[in-house]
Amino acid sequence: MTDMEAALSWTLTGGTVLRDGTLHRDNLHFAGGVIVSAVPKGQVFDASGLWLLPGIVDVHGDAIERIAMPRPGVSFELSLALQEADRQMLSNGIITAFHGLTVSWEPGLRSLASARAFVDALTGADLICDTRINFRWETFALEAVEDMIGWFDQVPNCIFSLNDHTTALIGQPPLTRKIVRMAERIGWSPEDCSARLNEVSARANEVPAAIVRVTSAARAAKIPMLAHDEVSPATRQDHRALGISASEFPMTEQTAAAARQAGEQVVFGAPNVLRGCSQNNAVDAAPAILSGLGTVLASDYYYPAPLQAAFVLAEKGMDFAAAWDCVSYSAAAIAGLSDRGRLQPGLRADVIAVCPKTRSVKAVFVAGEKKLHFG
């Protein structure tokens, strides 16, 4: 056996394995980067007292923005930010990550130029997590249409999220909270932001055709598509007609219900579950998921949230296996990943060992290789 084969061959003993919808004491084996039934020759990890869970799949995590720009006007190199995000995600059990990359008409952090730089930085990064991109295209970012279409062919394993944070801001006073936040992010005055909003809104008649172009290109490239902050069942129906089969952070329960009635996935923010409410007065995620209106939890702006939210849902009466599916199996499915999300033979050996008492990650195995171990 080569050194590499030995590094990817493990028996995890004495732990409680989440498999086939239940938690039960068992050993877990993997070799060659995948879970196997037979005991391989290799290394042994003592998982006594720990739960062995499928690695978290995070389909929408934009905390990378606060790592790259921790204060307004203070930025750090993307290469450093990506490495730091990698460490934070691993320590919180996230093994497959889709960084939420907003491609907007704004200057600065969310500009087209910044998005181009991010794509280049990620392409050259040496990361442990299986790190990908959720392209969050703002529909009024008309100058980004050609880039978006090109990225669908050039950036492997990405997903796409349709965003419109512009329409609701048009005509709002400069001191509206979201305009003030935008001003802080890009280093302008609120009045200058309002003026720019007015300029952008003047091209509103071009937006519908741009949406059709971008979503048609994504569909042709077989890119999984989500729609962000949908406000009504009618909006969900419009997006469904474009081939978008998942609702990401729906603003109303009726919208979430419309998606679920059509058999579609619904994503909520895991921080919403931890806080007990939405930070923007949208749907309260925990009761929505408990009632069947949500299927996936994402880290949104806080990497510790998915792991902790699964335990919170279990405390509120949800079966733990079903709660964990929200951050693993169902999340993998929404991204079109059929090779991970459950601890079944033949699937990727993305495994986290968690202490159920402290709800902390004690070890992380990525494609069968031990990458993190807290003694």
Name 343's bridge partners: none
pLDDT band at 6 (very low <50, low <70, confident <90, very high): low
Supply the pLDDT for residue 1. 56
| Average pLDDT for 291-302 | 97
Give the whole-angstrom CA distance, residue 163 versus residue 42.
47
Give the whole-angstrom CA distance, residue 76 versus residue 184.
17
Helix axes 233-241, 253-261, angle to 10 degrees: 40
Q: Which helix (H) or strand (E) holds 36?
A: strand 34-36
Supply the pLDDT for residue 172. 92
Q: What are the pLDDT digits (tens) for 63-114?
A: 999 999 999 989 999 999 999 999 999 999 999 999 999 999 999 999 999 9
Give the whole-angstrom CA distance, residue 77 versus residue 149.
26
The architecture in CATH of the region 55-334 reads Alpha-Beta Barrel (3.20)
pLDDT band at 375 (very low <50, low <70, confident <90, very high): confident
User: Does residue 181 register a pLDDT over 80?
Assistant: yes
Hey, what's the torsion of the CAs at 331, 337, 342, 347, to 10 degrees? -170
Q: Which one, of 214, 268, 259, 260, lies nearest residue 234 by Cα?
A: 259
Q: How do the domains of the chain map onto residue ranges?
A: 3-53+343-373, 55-334
Q: Which one, of 361, 294, 327, lies nearest residue 97 by Cα?
A: 327
Q: Which two tokens stand for residue 17?
A: 């394995």
* pTM for this predicted structure: 0.96
Give the whole-angstrom CA distance, residue 316 versus residue 304.
19
Mean pLDDT of the chain: 95
Contact 339, 347 (CB under 8 A): yes
Give the whole-angstrom CA distance, residue 78 versus residue 124.
11
Give the whole-angstrom CA distance, residue 172 versus residue 281.
18
| Average pLDDT for 355-370 | 97
Give the whole-angstrom CA distance, residue 190 versus residue 186.
10
Lowest-pLDDT range of 8-12, 63-67, 138-142: 8-12
User: Does residue 374 register a pLDDT over 60?
Assistant: yes
Supply the DSSP string of 124-148, one letter for each residue.
T---SSEEEEEEEEETT-GGGHHHH
Supply the pLDDT for residue 279. 74
User: Does residue 7 register a pLDDT over 80?
Assistant: no
Give the whole-angstrom CA distance, residue 174 versus residue 264.
37
Find all residues with CB under 8 Å of 39, minimum gap 6, and list them: 11, 27, 29
Q: Which one, of 174, 179, 176, 178, lies nearest residue 191 by Cα?
A: 174
Query: How far is CA 261 from its chain centroid?
Result: 23
The architecture in CATH of the region 3-53+343-373 reads Roll (2.30)
Find all residues with CB under 8 Å of 333, minimum gap 6, and list them: 265, 341
- DSSP 3-state of 15: strand
User: Does residue 203 register a pLDDT over 80?
Assistant: yes
| Average pLDDT for 173-184 | 93
Give the whole-angstrom CA distance, residue 356 versus residue 336.
29
